[in-house]
Amino acid sequence: MSKGKTTIKFTGGSLAGHVEENVNTRLLAPRIENQTGVWIRENDDGSAQIMSHGQPDSNWNYFKVEIYEKQERLSEQEPFIYKFVGQEEVSRCETTTKQGARCKNRAVKEQDNCSRHIKD
């Protein structure tokens, strides 16, 4: 493997056994999210649409992610292991901006708004 590159392996969750090679070591985050299943988008007319493919677009409203956390590496020869630790629901901030559009940020867990728009 070339310098600055590594292999990562996932344990548990839907990515169990998945291996990614030649990953830039500078991109190794302590936590990785993997979007799972369907996502919900809000149409321009206010209706909702359940999407079963693709990534959330600018009209996203809700999706779930699996959480994987990087484990301590046993040796330089071993791949980095990311262990499945659970799922989280991701909702969009409910705030309407000054421009009349809905904020595109994620709401804080178990809140209706993002950290910028949480009201005291």
Cα(84)–Cα(33) distance, rounded to whole angstroms?
10
102 burial class (0-12, 13-18, 19+ CB within 10 angstroms)?
middle
pLDDT at 115 over 60: yes
Q: Average pLDDT in the 20-35 region? A: 94
Please tell me the distance from the alpha carbon of residue 11 to that of residue 101, in angstroms, as a whole number: 40
pLDDT single digits (tens) 66-106: 999 999 998 888 999 999 999 999 999 999 989 988 899 99
Mean pLDDT of the chain, nearest integer: 92
**Backbone dihedral region for residue 86 (phi beyond 0: left; psi -120 to 50: alpha; all else: beta):** left
- Whether 34 has a pLDDT exceeding 90, the answer reads yes
β-pair type (19-24, 31-42)? unpaired
Backbone angles phi, psi at 39, to 5 degrees: -135, 160
According to the model, what pLDDT value does residue 22 have? 94
Strands 48-51 and 80-91: unpaired
Task: Count the neighbouring beta carbons within 10 Å of the beta carbon of residue 40.
Answer: 16
**Whether the predicted model's global pTM rises above the 0.85 cut:** no
Dihedral-angle region of residue 15 (phi above 0 means left; psi in -120 to 50 means alpha; beta otherwise): alpha
Q: Flag whether pLDDT at 24 surpasses 80.
A: yes
The pLDDT of residue 1 is above 70: no
What is the residue type of 63?
F
- What number is the average pLDDT over the span 18-38? 93
